[in-house]
A and B are shown apart, each in its own frame.
Chain A
Amino acid sequence: MRRALEILLPMSSVVLFVLAWQFYVDWNDIAPIYLPAPSAIVLALWEMIADGSLFVHLGATVLRIFVGFFLAAFFGILLGLLMGMSRLVARIADPWVAALYPLPKISLIPLLIIWMGTGESYKILISAISAFFPIVMSTHAGVRQIEPGLLKAARDLGASARQVQMKVVIPGAIPSIFSGLQLGMGVTIILIVAAEMIGGSSRTGMGYLLVHAGQVLETEKVFAALVVLAIMGAVIIKTQQWLDRVLAPWADLS
């Protein structure tokens, strides 16, 4: 009974909202340019699926997200670990991380476009830079926050300095690294779509689809793209959370 309610309640809230929306639009005869009915949005979505254009745009966006994310993850984890393990690296990197982390990364877009043009590399780089910082910070914090007792115990059991790093520090930092990667993924999605929306920088991608549909006042397509983006984001984030739990079953990941 409780379980059924737990599933039924969120589902019915969505269904009721959509129905109310549909009736509101139909009843008041609102122009689809302002607010299309859910049925019109579904139709637009179906057309984009049928002609294959949705998958071209979605595929391009997902591909960019993953390239940007993996670049950020690789360099972010690497620098974070180095900062955590070496005071020297931490001292050198700290002012840069501290200064660049709070900078809104979108503000770098003009500069990147000047330097690299509006091709793929600019889009991937802007998202990678944005995701890099939360990943560096979380990894660094994860290494520093290792339970000192675990390090003592490992040394006492005969582990060398290198073995302590490999067998205690790195696995001990994994929960924190994973939460950094989750933050990083969220930022990557935002920045890729934003970069795709900027000044005709692209002929593909969900960001392009949004801007283009908006310019020609195909409001149902705008909504359809938003729905797809929301689902894409949820699927990516949920899959990541599931993967983290499978890979780190000992950790308390939220």
Chain B
Amino acid sequence: MDVIVENVTQIWTDRRRGEVQALSHVSHRFSSGRFSCILGPSGCGKSTLAQIVGGMERPTEGKIDIRSADGAQVAPGAASVMVWQNQNLFPWRSVLDNIAFGLEVAGVGRAERHERARAWTGAVGLRGFERHLPRHLSGGMRQRVALARALILDRPILLMDEPFGALDAQTKFVMQEELLRIFEAHRRTVIFVTHSIEEAVLLGDEVVVMTARPGRIKEVIEVDLPRPRRLEMMGSPQFAALTGRVLGLIREEVTRALAEQDRPDGAA
């Protein structure tokens, strides 16, 4: 499913700071079956963009056009599902019932949804933890539950908002590998927000680099590393060249953002 972002601008009205422009005239086409990473300095509105695509926020200006293969238009949110950085698991539900939540509200019967949730519990490596509550899981395990809870719905667009941002380095590698495996087995349109350059290059087919606030698209970098991707590719010269290019772009933006913060008139 294609996601066409057309001229999207987002302005927040903040009681203390007045109007804050989070996104400014962003246009991009996220093509069907591609893994796109949105990368940018913090506060550049990359999460906002994901939430607008997911239908959780309405843009101040511009629009989101989501089209299925036969050209039919789909409302934002209807065809996508989000994996959140802080997981947002329901603390009173077991792993199994968290994963089955989407099926439950869709009216799938108990036996069937548990059956399917059990299959996903296995697929994300959580067999044996079906009855556990989220509070008894590690951060990495909670993120697996969140991933399974999203993937079970089989929606054509997967939105991921810094899903591995809070994980330790080792867990992050394992989760990235797992996500690659799942994506390469079940292709779909993925929009993955991150602030890690390596993560963006390792996972993405393209890296959408954003400017500092107000967020604009600075450049889109094609990642032509072959699939299936492996963590070992991170040692290749090709990988180093790509991350180097992205780093150059990001450095410009971070420097610019810092300079702006230091300006005595305190525009920020």
Contacts and interface: CB of A to CB of B under 8 A. Distances in A.
Contacts of A168: 90
B105 A152 contact: no
A157 B105 contact: yes
B106 A171 contact: no
B91 interface: yes
Interface stretch (B34-42, B78-86, B187-195, B234-242): B78-86
B190 to A, nearest CB: 16
B92 A250 contact: yes
A157 B102 contact: yes
Given A152-B56, A157-B149, A249 B133 contact: yes
Interface stretch (A61-69, A103-111, A158-166): A158-166
A157 B86 contact: no
A interface SS class: helix
A156 B92 contact: no
A153 B105 contact: no
Interface string B82-115: 1010101011100000000110111000000000
Given A171-B90, A171-B92, A250-B133, A157 B81 contact: yes
Given A163-B105, A249-B133, A250-B133, A156 B81 contact: yes
A217 interface: no
Interface size class of B (residues with CB under 8 A): 20 to 34
Interface string A151-188: 01111111110010001100110100000000000000
Contacts of B116: none
A250 B105 contact: no
Contacts of A167: 90, 101, 104-105
A156 B102 CA distance: 9
A248 interface: yes
Contact of B92 (A149, A155, A158, A174): A174
B135 A153 contact: no
B133 A156 contact: no
Contacts of A20: none
A171 B98 CA distance: 13
A220 to B, nearest CB: 49
Nearest to A155: B56
B102 A250 contact: no
B88 A147 contact: yes
A150 interface: yes
Interface string B162-190: 00000000000000000000000000000
Interface of B: 54-56, 77, 81-82, 84, 86, 88, 90-92, 101-102, 104-106, 133-135, 149-150, 153
27 contacts: A149-B84, A149-B86, A149-B88, A150-B90, A153-B82, A154-B101, A155-B56, A156-B54, A156-B56, A156-B77, A156-B81, A156-B82, A157-B81, A157-B105, A157-B149, A158-B102, A158-B105, A158-B106, A158-B153, A159-B101, A163-B105, A167-B101, A167-B104, A168-B90, A172-B92, A248-B92, A250-B133
Interface of A: 147, 149-150, 152-160, 163, 167-168, 171-172, 174, 248-251
